[in-house]
Structure 1
Amino acid sequence: MDIRTKAFRAERLSNPLDEAVKLRDMSILEMVRAAVFHQEVTLAFQPIFGRKNPKQPSFYESLIRVLDETGRIIPAAQFLPFVQHGEIARELDRLALKLSLERLVKHPNLCLSVNMSARSIGYRPWMDTLNNALRVYPDINKRLILEISEGSVVEMPELVADFMPDLQNRGVSFCLDDYGSQHTSFKILYDRYFEFVKLDGSYTQRVHESQEKQILANTVATMLGRLGIHSVATKVESELEARMMRSLGFSYLQGFYFSAPTVSPPWDPVQPSPTMA
């Protein structure tokens, strides 16, 4: 056996953990691909509460979930990192939009924030799903909020900027998610005309123990208020955090302190209830 053959075999045998990780990643990808093909997906909903009425949700964020072969619900954190840059991700965006629009049609008092990526803008099936729904059901436009992450806006700024005005003229609102996570400038706020901005959840976590976080969060909330933009504090997980973010000026609050995402929201009790993964 020559030296190169020995080295090759040694490299293969020395990293069994890497091989296990690759097999796991491939398994997750195949599971998601099968779920999308068979449309075995569902939505979870997390309420968002206004500062003035902390007991009654102002609107909900809809979150895509896939079902594995046993019917268990797989949380997004367990599969999105493996599919977020491929064709499957764009189809997941389309299915999330389709299911959300169906809920808006069914429940005339419901307002939903639907996650999307800039990659969806150039995906014809996604655009057709949106435009067809707005044409047939024009009353849902003012109850639809399209939520785009800061990272997605930074990645394709011109595409997003060209996309937003037409839909805003038709009554659809936009929310910038994860603001502050990319260390971008304030310019992103007045260039894109978002109606809502969600501050990255890292600023909320244990904010009552950090004067620096309090100063930064208050600066953002004050600035957004003066720009006429609704501010949303995310990942609120305790009463102390909720109280602090309210005092810092945030218009809305969202997080596990109020409610975890659920597939059986109070306004839609007749929902399938697969077991959680």
Structure 2
Amino acid sequence: MPAFDTSAEALARIHPANPLQHALAIRDADIPRMVTEALALDRARLVFMPVVAAAGSRRTAFHEGLIRLLDEEGRMIPAGSFMGAVEETGMARDIDAIALRLGLHMLRSNPHMRLAINMSARSIGDGTFRRTLEEGMRQTPRIGERLILEISENSAMLMPEVVIRFMAEFRPHGITFALDDFGAGLTAFKYLRDFLFDMVKIDTIFIRGIHTSPDNQVVTEALLSVAHQFGMFAVAEGVETIEEAAFLQDLGVDCLQGYLFGVPTATPSDRNG
């Protein structure tokens, strides 16, 4: 487990003058303890963000379920605040398994919903994660047809052969596989043919301000061309303005996701036009 410097000197360097921020830094410095307590006390929740069709009425195509942990005060803590600190520990595998369990429960409760859940390639060999997935497939026939598993580009490239076998094993259940953060990682294009991902999510860094950025336009068009050449559906992440959305629609992106269409909420909401 990584060591965290929680000394007064270290925390003072983070927030030397603001007492509230200093107190929050003390709380946040021991991230593993916070994560352990939240998991042990069942303080994990999903929030839901819509992904909409780029063309037509911008109807909701599916939702992404994002894991949140609650601190002792009941405040929601985004995954970005803790996943980096625990990614290489068993706690990250527990988080993936809990996110999957919560996602499967949501799908059972909402038979017309499609839902994407994030996972790390490291969780493929985790017993709890696999049992959760296998039991979900057994308990609810065809639920896999509404489940999307997102694996980040960097994570997939850690163990490409393992990911390929995992996808081949569970694709007969109807599960859709998405390559997240496409373009920001280290994917060798030769692996795309072997991976056979159904979907890519083009990373936010190429989407932000794309209508005024020639560099982002060139990169995104190239990534979109690669995705479509390999028969993959393409989602643009991090869309925040009407101008970005219009440019991406003209470029031929299939779906859009971002604050322009909805922030993460505790209850999924549909856009019907």
Q: Given the two structures, how large is their TM-score scaled by the length of structure 2?
A: 0.88
* 1:208-227 correspondence runs (5 A): 208-227=211-230
* 2:52 aligned residue (49, 59, 81): 49
Superposition deviation, residue 249 in structure 1: 1.2
1:69 equivalent in alignment to 2:95: no
* Cα displacement string for residues 158-217 of structure 1 (whole angstroms, at most 9, x for unaligned residues): 111111101112211100001111243322321100000011110001111111211221
What amino acid does structure 2 have at the position aligned with 1:200? D
Code of the residue aligned with 2:46 in structure 1: it is L
Partner SS state of residue 66, structure 1: strand
- Match of 2:130, SS state, is helix
Return closer, same or farther for 1:80/1:54 CA change in 2, 3 Å cut-off: farther
**What is the aligned partner in structure 1 of residue 10 from structure 2?**
17
Q: Pick the aligned partner of 1:118 from 116, 121, 131.
A: 121
1:154 aligns with 2:157: yes
How many residue pairs get matched? Answer: 255
C-alpha distance in 2, partners of 1:54/1:34? 43
One-letter code of the match for 2:133?
Answer: L
Gaps of 5+ in 2: 15-24
In the TM superposition, what whole-angstrom CA distance separates every residue of 1:218-243 from its partner, at most 9, and x where no partner exists?
12212322322100100011111111
| CA–CA distance in structure 1, aligned partners of residues 73 and 13 of structure 2 | 22
- Structure 2 partner of 1:167: 170
Q: Aligned Cα RMSD in Å? A: 2.0
Give identity over the alignment, percent. 38
Which segment drifts farther, 18-27 or 95-104? 18-27
Name structure 1 gaps, 5 residues minimum.
1-11, 268-277
Moved beyond 4 Å, runs of 4+: 18-26
CA distance in 1, matches of 2:43, 2:107: 20
> Residues 205 and 235 of structure 1 are in contact (CA less than 8 Å); yes or no, is this contact kept in structure 2?
yes
CA 215–16 in structure 1, closer or farther in 2 if over 3 Å, else same? same
Asked if the contact 1:25/1:82 (under 8 Å) is kept, the reply is: no
**32, 35, 40: which one pairs with 1:37?**
40
Alpha-carbon distance in structure 1 between the residues aligned to 2:35 and 2:93: 12
Bigger radius of gyration, 1 or 2? Answer: 1
TM-score (norm 1): 0.86
Q: Does the 8 A contact of 2:178 with 2:198 survive in 1?
A: yes
CA distance in 2, matches of 1:250, 1:191: 23
Name the CA shift for 1:54/1:119 in 2 (closer, same or farther; >3 Å). Answer: farther
Pick one of 69, 86, 97 that aligns with 1:83.
86
